[in-house]
């Protein structure tokens, strides 16, 4: 999967009737289904039951079991509420009668109101100064640990450029934060807001736990730690376009008890805050 068109096709589920939908999976280098894919496909299922004038403003999901890449995922949508301004949906994702994920999502009509937003640090390096994952793999691939090399070798429809490039050969402890620029690969195309939200939800599950690793990066990494997304929440604020690089800015306030918490924001290059997110993940050191 190399382009945004392929990603959109993956996220667009097949309707089976009775608010039930089916979707396939694509690996990102992990032996299990990528959590961002299940999140985004669940939103796609919910969108198919929502009036056109209502837009996703928040989602809260729990990952219950690891997904099998070779088995289709069935998504069942329940209409929990249809009010004058808000609609709420519950989505259950199953494989072979086993529930692997549950989601609650809320949708809101467009309304006017006062506003404010935080801004990101404009002193950080911009994409033109940084190496992408693809460029890092081409330049340093022969020297990388096997798990990292395998992960970076997978074709993706998104380009990522970390603001702070880690030294994988001589790792050291870092502050509990991470900033990464990203953009879609392939030709630019006009996308409706719903599709953009589904794509952004998919991307939001990348890189989240890096910030939780950073304070202990000298001794712990994805190679010697069992990791998994436990839950995921997201809030959408403003419309946006994927025509340019966007910034994924995250921080980790805590890691304890084999779990790490990460939270943060997503900005356009010109500083518009489009979404916020939070996730707790499993960080279990391997014996």
φ and ψ at residue 87, rounded to 5 degrees = -130, 140
pLDDT digits (tens, 9 = 90+) for 142-169: 766 676 767 777 788 999 999 998 766 6
198 pLDDT band, cuts 50/70/90, is very high
User: Which tens digits make up the pLDDT trace of 93-130?
Assistant: 999 999 999 999 999 999 999 999 999 988 999 999 99
On the question of pLDDT at 132 being above 90, the answer is: no
Of residues 4, 179, 229, 249, which has the active-site annotation? 229
Distance, in Å, from the CA atom of 209 to the CA atom of 23, rounded to the nearest integer, reads 26
CA-based max dimension of the chain: 58
Catalytic pick from 205, 249, 252, 276? 205
Q: Which residues pair with 181 in a beta bridge?
A: 161, 247
Q: Do the beta carbons of residue 106 and residue 87 sit within 8 Å? A: yes
Q: Which residues contact 283 (CB under 8 A, 6 or more apart)?
A: 209, 212, 213, 220, 225, 226, 227, 255, 258, 259, 260
Tell me the C-alpha to C-alpha distance, in Å, between residue 93 and each of 58, 76, 88, 204.
18, 7, 17, 19
Q: Which of the four pLDDT bands, split at 50, 70 and 90, describes residue 57?
A: very high
User: How do the domains of the chain map onto residue ranges?
Assistant: 4-111+125-285
Cα distance from N-terminal residue to C-terminal residue, the chain: 35
Under 8 Å CB-to-CB from 27, ≥6 apart: which residues? 34, 69, 154
Task: Look at residue 168 in the predicted model and tell me its pLDDT.
Answer: 67
Annotated catalytic residue, options 42, 95, 252, 279: 279
**Whether 266 contacts 277, CB under 8 Å:** yes
The residue assigned the tokens 């950080």 is: 124
State the sign of the Cα–Cα–Cα–Cα dihedral 86, 267, 180, 120. Answer: negative
Q: Pull the structure tokens for residue 149.
A: 């090399």
**DSSP labels, 29-94:** SSSS--HHHHHHHHHHHHHTTS-TTEEEEEEEEEE-SPPPTTS-EEEEEEEEEE-SSEEEEEEEEE
- CATH superfamily for 4-111+125-285 is Acyl-CoA thioesterase, double hotdog domain (2.40.160.210)
Active-site residue 205, yes or no? yes
Catalytic (active site) residue 85 = no
Q: What does the CA dihedral 68, 224, 200, 253 come to, rounded to 10 degrees?
A: 130
> pLDDT tens digits, residue range 219-259?
887 778 888 899 999 999 999 999 899 999 999 999 999 99
Could you tell me the two tokens for 98? Answer: 């086993």
**Residue 171 CB neighbour total at 10 angstroms:** 16
The pLDDT value recorded for residue 223 is: 77
Range from 14-18, 30-34, 69-73, 200-204 carrying the lowest mean pLDDT: 30-34
276 among known catalytic residues: no
């Amino acid at each position: 999967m190399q382009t945004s068109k392929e990603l959109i096709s993956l996220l667009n589920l097949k309707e089976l009737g009775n608010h039930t939908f089916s979707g396939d999976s694509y690996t990102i280098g992990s032996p299990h289904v990528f959590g961002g894919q299940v999140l985004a496909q669940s939103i796609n299922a919910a969108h198919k039951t929502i009036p056109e004038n209502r837009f996703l403003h928040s989602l809260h999901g729990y990952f219950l079991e690891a997904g099998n890449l070779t088995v289709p995922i069935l998504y069942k949508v329940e209409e929990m509420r249809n009010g004058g301004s808000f609609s709420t949906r519950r989505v259950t994702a199953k494989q072979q009668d086993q529930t692997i994920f549950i989601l609650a999502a809320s949708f809101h009509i467009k309304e006017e109101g006062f506003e404010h937003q935080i801004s990101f640090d404009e002193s950080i390096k911009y994409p033109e100064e940084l190496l992408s994952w693809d460029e890092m793999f081409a330049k340093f691939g022969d020297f990388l640990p096997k798990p990292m090399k395998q992960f970076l070798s997978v074709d993706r429809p998104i380009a990522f450029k970390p603001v702070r490039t880690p030294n994988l050969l001589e790792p050291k402890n870092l502050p509990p934060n991470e900033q990464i620029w990203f953009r879609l690969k392939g030709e630019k195309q006009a996308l409706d807001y719903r599709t953009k939200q589904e794509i952004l939800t998919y991307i939001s599950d990348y890189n989240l736990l890096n910030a939780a690793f950073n304070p202990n990066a000298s001794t712990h990494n994805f190679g010697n730690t069992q990791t998994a997304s436990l839950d995921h929440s997201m809030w959408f604020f403003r419309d946006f376009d994927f025509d340019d690089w966007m910034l994924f800015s995250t921080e980790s306030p805590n890691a304890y008890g084999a779990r790490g918490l990460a939270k943060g924001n997503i900005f356009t290059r010109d500083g518009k805050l489009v979404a916020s997110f939070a996730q707790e993940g499993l960080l279990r050191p391997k014996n």
